[in-house]
Amino acid sequence: QEPCYILAVETSCDETAVAVVKDGREVLSNLISSQIETHKAFGGVVPEVASRKHVESITYMLEEAVEKSGITHDQLSAVAVTQGPGLVGALLVGIVAAKTLAMAWDKPLIGTHHIAGHIYANRLVQEIEYPSLALVVSGGHTELVLLEAEGQFKVIGATRDDAVGEAYDKVARALGFPYPGGPHVDKMALESEEAVQLPRVWLEPDSYDFSLSGLKSAVLNVVNQTSMRGENLNKGAVARGFQESVIEVLVEKAVRAMREFGCRQLLLCGGVAANRGLRAALKERCERENLPLLIPPHHYCTDNAAMIGAAAYLKWKQSEFTDLDMKAEPGLSL
Ligand code: KG4
Ligand code: ZN
């Protein structure tokens, strides 16, 4: 069979990313331009600024990604792009670029779901076995997704308020760390001997949903009360208490779902998969219970375009192409 080469574009948030992926698993080129330094000054991602930055860099990156891949554009099988969810103005930049190339080069267009990308990032590392369970934890998402077969997604649980990464960033901010604060909280938590006792939010006994806003408020209360009493805040103890609470609930619900649905693998996906505490806890628990765990390397966990190429490959195999009048879908569901 002819090899499949997909040019993939991802601009749903604050990374401009372009990649060329062969057969949904071999990454020929993978470029990422992060806007973090720009958004840091604002303490978070400013949508309008994100769109403008994507416009500045996308064309050069497209050119470079094809050049670095070692193939020519006429060898491409399709052009894939994140259709949603994400910031609408940011998505549109990637979508317009991808449509234009698809039209100019006469290639099929493949609109791709951002979370399908995060999940199929695992396929860049290892073959996925079904049924599988994906724990998606990022700045915008917290979901447990059951994959009964290839490309068949069933969201069995999701956050009812804040995403895990979002909660990390808010807690980090309260502790005085710059955006994105997740990695700082992770580091402080691991270095601290002490932990503040914070609640675990389980919701209904049979629910796979999550809720993080109560925990976040509990952290903010500790921070405010300490400051009102004029005492010194033990930041490490707060970070560790928060991290322990988040991890315990994530691990417990993931393992319970693995059992209930007889899943053969647990796939950890999204930017928060970089969290060392979460990785260690999942590894330990999965080893103890003999459950196979897949965690992609860090650069495939955070937003990137290689993962979009991996997910788009599934659609390419089914000749599931997208019309050139495709719209950005900021709230696209899986
Ligand atoms: O997947 P991602 O790159 O972008 C989204 O699609 O949201 O995830 C970024 C999120 C940020 O909230 C960041 O603080 C969080 O992942 N993050 C972490 C860690 N590294 C990144 N959160 C906790 N611990 C970490 N080590
Ligand atoms: Zn993401």
ipTM of the complex: 0.98
In a domain, 332, yes or no: no
* Ligand 2 midpoint to CA 136 (Å): 9
* Ligand 1 midpoint to CA 173 (Å): 14
Pairwise CA distance, residues 224 & 228, whole Å: 6
* Termini Cα distance of the chain: 29
Domain shared by 162 and 66, yes or no: no
Domain shared by 186 and 284, yes or no: yes
pTM of full prediction above 0.90: yes
pLDDT at 50: 84
Peptide bond into 180 cis (omega under 30): yes
Ligand 1 within 6 A of 169 CB? yes
pLDDT at 44: 82
Range of the domain at 57: 5-120+301-317
Which residues does 127 contact at the CB level (< 8 Å), separation at least 6?
Answer: none
pLDDT in tens, 95-151: 999 999 999 999 999 999 999 999 999 999 999 999 999 999 999 999 999 999 999
What is the average pLDDT score of the chain? Answer: 96
What's the chain's length in residues? 334
pLDDT in tens, 150-178: 999 999 999 999 999 999 999 999 999 99
* Ligand 2 midpoint to CA 304 (Å): 8
Domain shared by 157 and 267, yes or no: yes
304 annotated ligand binder:
no
Looking at the 3D structure of the chain, how many domains does it have? Answer: 2
Domain shared by 29 and 151, yes or no: no
Domain shared by 154 and 70, yes or no: no
Counts for the chain of helices (H) and strands (E), in that order: 11, 10
Q: Are 201 and 244 in contact (CB under 8 A)?
A: no
Domain harbouring 286, CATH code: 3.30.420.40
Domain shared by 170 and 279, yes or no: yes
277 annotated ligand binder:
no
Domain shared by 90 and 149, yes or no: no
Domain shared by 176 and 90, yes or no: no
pLDDT at 262: 97
Domain shared by 291 and 161, yes or no: yes
Pairwise CA distance, residues 96 & 91, whole Å: 9
Ligand 1 within 6 A of 108 CB? no
Mutate-to-test residue for ligand 1 from 11, 33, 138, 282, highest number of ligand atoms within 8 A of CB: 138
Protein residue whose Cα sits closest to atom 2 of ligand 1? 271
Domain shared by 74 and 146, yes or no: no
Please state the atom number of ligand 1 nearest to the C-alpha of residue 270.
1
- List, in sequence order, every beta strand (DSSP E) within 150-282: 152-158, 265-269
pLDDT in tens, 18-31: 999 999 999 999 99
Domain shared by 161 and 266, yes or no: yes
Q: What is the DSSP letter of 216?
A: H
* Ligand 1 midpoint to CA 77 (Å): 32
Ligand 1 within 6 A of 180 CB? yes
